[in-house]
Amino acid sequence: MNTVIVIAARNEALTIGPLVSKCKKYGKVIVAEGGSIDWTAELAISHGARVLTGLHCLRDAYLEGFRAALELGPTYIVQMDAGFSHSPDDIPTLLDGLKDAHMVIGSRFVPGGKMVNQPFRREMLSWCGSWLVRQLTGMPYRDLTSGFKAYRPPVIQAVLDQARDNPFRARMYDFQFEFTHRVHKMSYWIKEAPITYTGSPSRVNWRFIRAALKTAWRLR
């Protein structure tokens, strides 16, 4: 299999090197880096990743990363975060799900999925956020805010083609479920696979939460 792994990264110098090294066991690695003021880009390159720079938000990072991945003619494309919240060891689980699906969501909320090193209030915020997006958009998936996903390339190409005339409006974490919503509306087969999500010490950014609620309301 020819797999390309797209990692969105910003100021992840402490983790990006080891993460790229682990991901290389499963495929080629593209790091879409936006606005870092540390050594994220340089360390990613030194560990063997192709690095895209000059990206201004999470949406732009993933869209440019997907375009670069498609140029490599992959069998599968994986997206994930840069801070080891997502384990590279879960990549085979996502790829296995693509045997009978077009897109696989790495889910914390299906049997076998879990969160570790995460305060209870953050667990509830993640669960409630996905529940609310599910109610507003009508999508049936349990972990709609997940950033750990795998795709067959034609799915991504179809979404990018549509985006030429209907650009994405979400810029940050709400981009995750706006992208899934477009795949869902195209009637591709989406399934969820269990992953282990490792929490980080980052604080809740209420600006992102408000943006996510606005996006979910717009997609209803």
pTM, 2 dp: 0.93
Per residue in 111-121, pLDDT tens? Answer: 999 999 888 87
| Band (204; pLDDT cuts 50, 70, 90) | low
DSSP, collapsed to helix, strand or coil, labels residue 49 as coil
Quote the domain boundaries for residue 56.
Answer: 3-219
Per residue in 18-76, pLDDT tens? Answer: 999 999 999 999 999 988 899 999 999 999 999 999 898 999 999 999 999 999 999 99
Name the packing angle between helices 174-185 and 206-219 (round to 10°). Answer: 20
Give the C-alpha separation, 186 to 160, whole Å. 12
Please count the structural domains in the chain: 1
Which CATH number characterizes residue 42's domain?
3.90.550.10
Give the C-alpha separation, 122 to 32, whole Å. 26
Give the C-alpha separation, 28 to 84, whole Å. 17
